[in-house]
Amino acid sequence: MRAAFMYGAGDVRVEDTPDPVLRESTDAIVRIVRSCVCGSDLHPYHSMTASEQGTPMGHEFLGVVEDLGSEVSGLRRGDLVVSPFTYSDNTCEFCREGLHTSCRHGGFWASGDIGGAQAEAIRVPQAQGTLVAVPGVGEDSALLPSLLTLADVYGTGYHAAKQARVTAGTTVTVVGDGAVGLLAVLSAKRLGAERIILMGRHKDRTDLGREFGATDVVAERGDEGVELVRELTGGDGTHAVLEAVGHMAAYEMAVGAVRPGGVISRVGVPQYERAPVGFGSLFGHNVTLTGGPAPVRAYIDELLPAVLDGTVDPGKVFDLAIDLEQTPDGYRAMDRREALKTLIRF
Amino acid sequence: MRAAFMYGAGDVRVEDTPDPVLRESTDAIVRIVRSCVCGSDLHPYHSMTASEQGTPMGHEFLGVVEDLGSEVSGLRRGDLVVSPFTYSDNTCEFCREGLHTSCRHGGFWASGDIGGAQAEAIRVPQAQGTLVAVPGVGEDSALLPSLLTLADVYGTGYHAAKQARVTAGTTVTVVGDGAVGLLAVLSAKRLGAERIILMGRHKDRTDLGREFGATDVVAERGDEGVELVRELTGGDGTHAVLEAVGHMAAYEMAVGAVRPGGVISRVGVPQYERAPVGFGSLFGHNVTLTGGPAPVRAYIDELLPAVLDGTVDPGKVFDLAIDLEQTPDGYRAMDRREALKTLIRF
């Protein structure tokens, strides 16, 4: 089969690689129908050390079940399935608590002997716990882009909002106008947020943010941006800040924009290890810092109905569609901010 | 009147100073009946730059109302009152949310033109919102030490447990066997925690911790201590870690001891500004970091009944009682770990 591999910063190649096969009785083989490029894929795209050995890429996909291990039940060959960006058994105590990203038998795609999703097919460990069948949706459905967001970006935006305890009446700042930030806006809106201030400087993206529910847009960054959020909130900042970038500058804006007693909820993968958390930043104002890799499996059942009935259309974050062979172009377009999010068709 | 002042590290003096007088119509003057030395007073005791100008000290007190401004209602001269370690109006939106430490008209004792509580009397701003009368308790009641803990250490331990969402079935690690740590144990127990692991190395203190509800004691520190907590919890760590120290080593132990998806709740005043919060520490495991100065005013009504009826005896944290003139000895005894917490009588 064909699959995308990264060999170093800026160096993505689509190559031949062996077809995946069942290894465990809990596996499935899925033929991929839609995949995409994630904002988090841009981090290694900027910084990866060049290597002789390519790294498989991609962790978001919709596909069709082609083969099933003997222990997998609840799925059939031919099912169209959504996969979360981690696999999990959906039965261990962490999964039962909704923390599928810490599953005792779980893991990430494109790591160890698990392939990536920017590929024609993939072996899915813990298939029964991982995959969610979407009956009645065909391989050519107009719903595919929105369904694909359940694999990561919508669930991740929703995780940010849930962890921040967004509910009716909450005021929210969203830092970042990438796909996750925009879907954090949509999630906050769905959870009843009263006011949603989107910090982002790409007008086409913030326009989509307004469509998703943002009440205000702040294009300025740094101290200037923080000052504007404070002006919009009578000087106090917002109850919740959803940080969907991962860079220190975004963290600092979050600290500046959060209300005393509020919550900073991070879902952008931190590109730093140490950050201000002392009296002057978090502690003095009883600010809570939360977030992490989103257990999107926990949210699919909850988010799916409004996607299926068209109430929400999170798939609008895809503004470029390419074929697998064009994957390097898809990375480049996102890196240059020419594309918000790249959909890969097969 | 007489009052304690700090002139530099290790240099506490009791001196004559003018009696406090009413300045605002919302003030009260309180004659202090019991005060104490706080673990947080030891931070400047270790590090304060020597100064010609003494700094008033102390922020915990019980007293008797001596005088009241014209706008204060609900209090009478002669009332025995408990005071939180911050003053607050108890009516602004932050107070209504239970975040009295961020009150729009609030502040800390011993700052600006507000005196300290290691003194014979004190001016109390926002008296109506700040002071809680305790009817029927005399100036010689055996309950005074326990009532005094409501001014800070019990409410602070309780804040740690509440912010960490401790409830029936929660597993808890408490880092630190000072007064706040021990009362965090008591608080976790009262909130129904299933298991409470106390990290502390002073046997007399951890014995009191066991009396307050600790199920396990880990005397080891650093990686070794973390390893033992993990052994006690099947490798996972505990749902909540209540950090009642404030040093980086305690923060690092908290990160090591917390379960994926768990909460680190800090109430020890951080003696650092930056700390690890990235993928390897908090983010990767969806660990929440919370806490701050405890809005103890919010908890007094809730905690008072069990103190008054003797169900709990948090006053056991006081193991040294001195007169105001001996305050320098009280600091020294706590600094040398000869006393857990020093009570000041008048």
- What are the pLDDT digits (tens) for B251-274? 999 999 999 999 999 999 999 999
Asked if B25 and B119 count as a contact pair (C-beta separation under 8 A), the reply is no
What is the spatial distance between Cα B80 and Cα A324, in angstroms, rounded to a whole number? Answer: 77
Neighbours of B64 (CB within 10 A): 16
Q: What is the pLDDT of residues A93-120, one digit of tens each?
A: 999 999 999 999 999 999 888 999 999 9
Asked if residue B172 and residue B56 are part of one domain, the reply reads no
Asked if residue A126 and residue A161 are part of one domain, the reply reads no
The pair phi, psi for residue B45, each rounded to 5°, is: -60, -25
Domain containing residue A82: CATH number: 3.90.180.10
Asked if residue A183 and residue A134 are part of one domain, the reply reads no
CB contact under 8 A, B260 and A102: yes
Asked if residue A243 and residue A147 are part of one domain, the reply reads no
| Residues pairing with A291 in the sheet | A266
Decide if A277 touches B, using CB distance below 8 A.
yes
Residue A157: the pLDDT is 98
The B residues from 284 to 343 touching A (CB cutoff 8 Å) are: 284-293, 295
Interface test with B, best of A252, A277, A287 (most B CBs within 10 A): A277
Residues in chain B closer than 8 A to A282 (CB atoms): 289, 292
Q: Which residue has the tokens 């908090």?
A: B282
First to last CA, chain A: 12
Average pLDDT, rounded, for chain A:
97
Residue A111: the pLDDT is 87
The interface pTM score, or ipTM, of the predicted complex is 0.96
CB contact under 8 A, B273 and A274: no
CA angle centred on A115, ends A136 and A96, rounded to 5°: 60
When pLDDT is averaged across residues B193-210 and rounded to a whole number, the result is: 97
Q: Which string of DSSP letters, residue by residue, matches A67-125?
A: EE-TT--S--TT-EEEE-SEE--S-SHHHHTT-GGG-TT-EETTSTT---SSBSEEEET
Residue A177: the pLDDT is 97
Please name which of B219, B226, B275, B228 lies closest in space to residue B247, comparing C-alpha atoms. B275
Asked if residue B212 and residue B88 are part of one domain, the reply reads no
Q: Tell me which residue range forms the domain holding B83.
A: 2-152+295-345
CB contact under 8 A, A274 and B276: yes
Question: B194: which 2 tokens?
Answer: 């299933």
How far apart are the CA of A259 and the nearest CA of chain B, in angstroms? 10
**Which chain A residue has the Cα nearest residue B293?**
A284
Q: Which string of DSSP letters, residue by residue, matches A331-345?
A: HHHHHTTS-S-EEEE
Asked if residue B97 and residue B145 are part of one domain, the reply reads yes
- Determine what percent of chain B is predicted with pLDDT higher than 90: 99
| Residues pairing with B342 in the sheet | B320
pLDDT surpassing 90 at residue B197: yes
Decide if A192 touches B, using CB distance below 8 A.
no
Q: What is the pLDDT of residues B114-155, one digit of tens each?
A: 999 999 999 999 999 999 999 999 999 999 999 999 999 999
Asked if residue B255 and residue B126 are part of one domain, the reply reads no
Decide if A108 touches B, using CB distance below 8 A.
no
CA distances from B170 to A250, B164, B174 (A): 33, 10, 13
pLDDT surpassing 90 at residue B47: yes
Q: Which residue has the tokens 């007693």?
A: A261
Of the candidates A267, A291, A315, which is a domain's last residue? A291
Asked if residue B321 and residue B277 are part of one domain, the reply reads no
Asked if B214 and B190 count as a contact pair (C-beta separation under 8 A), the reply is no
pLDDT band at A346 (very low <50, low <70, confident <90, very high): very high
Residues in chain A closer than 8 A to B281 (CB atoms): 273
pLDDT surpassing 90 at residue A307: yes
Residue B332: the pLDDT is 97
Q: What is the pLDDT of residues A220-278, one digit of tens each?
A: 999 999 999 999 999 999 999 999 999 999 999 999 999 999 999 999 999 999 999 99
Asked if residue B7 and residue B147 are part of one domain, the reply reads yes
What is the spatial distance between Cα A58 and Cα A35, in angstroms, rounded to a whole number? Answer: 7
Please name which of A150, A152, A213, A223 lies closest in space to residue A186, comparing C-alpha atoms. A213
CA angle centred on B112, ends B109 and B114, rounded to 5°: 45
Asked if residue A148 and residue A38 are part of one domain, the reply reads yes
Asked if B150 and B300 count as a contact pair (C-beta separation under 8 A), the reply is yes
Strand A171-175 and strand A132-133: pairing? unpaired
pLDDT surpassing 90 at residue B295: yes
Question: B142: which 2 tokens?
Answer: 């055996």
Q: What is the pLDDT of residues A329-342, one digit of tens each?
A: 999 999 999 999 99
> What residues contact residue A101 under an 8 Å CB cut-off, 6+ apart?
A86, A88, A292, A293, A294, A295, B286
Of the candidates A265, A291, A317, which is a domain's last residue? A291
**Which chain A residue has the Cα nearest residue B267?**
A283
Decide if B94 touches A, using CB distance below 8 A.
yes
CA angle centred on A308, ends A303 and A311, rounded to 5°: 75
What is the spatial distance between Cα B29 and Cα B119, in angstroms, rounded to a whole number? Answer: 12
Asked if residue A103 and residue A49 are part of one domain, the reply reads yes
Residues in chain B closer than 8 A to A269 (CB atoms): 279, 283
Residue B69: the pLDDT is 98
What is the spatial distance between Cα B88 and Cα B40, in angstroms, rounded to a whole number? Answer: 20
Residue A112: the pLDDT is 83
Decide if B260 touches A, using CB distance below 8 A.
yes
pLDDT band at B98 (very low <50, low <70, confident <90, very high): very high
If one counts the domains in chain B, the total is: 2
Dihedral sign of CA atoms A160, A163, A168, A173 in order: negative
Residue B112: the pLDDT is 84
**Which chain A residue has the Cα nearest residue B271?**
A278
Residues in chain B closer than 8 A to A163 (CB atoms): 286, 288
Asked if B101 and B86 count as a contact pair (C-beta separation under 8 A), the reply is yes
Domain containing residue B189: CATH number: 3.40.50.720
Residues in chain B closer than 8 A to A292 (CB atoms): 282-287
Asked if residue B92 and residue B34 are part of one domain, the reply reads yes
Question: B57: which 2 tokens?
Answer: 């000290």
pLDDT surpassing 90 at residue B223: yes
Neighbours of A118 (CB within 10 A): 33
- Determine what percent of chain B is predicted with pLDDT higher than 70: 100
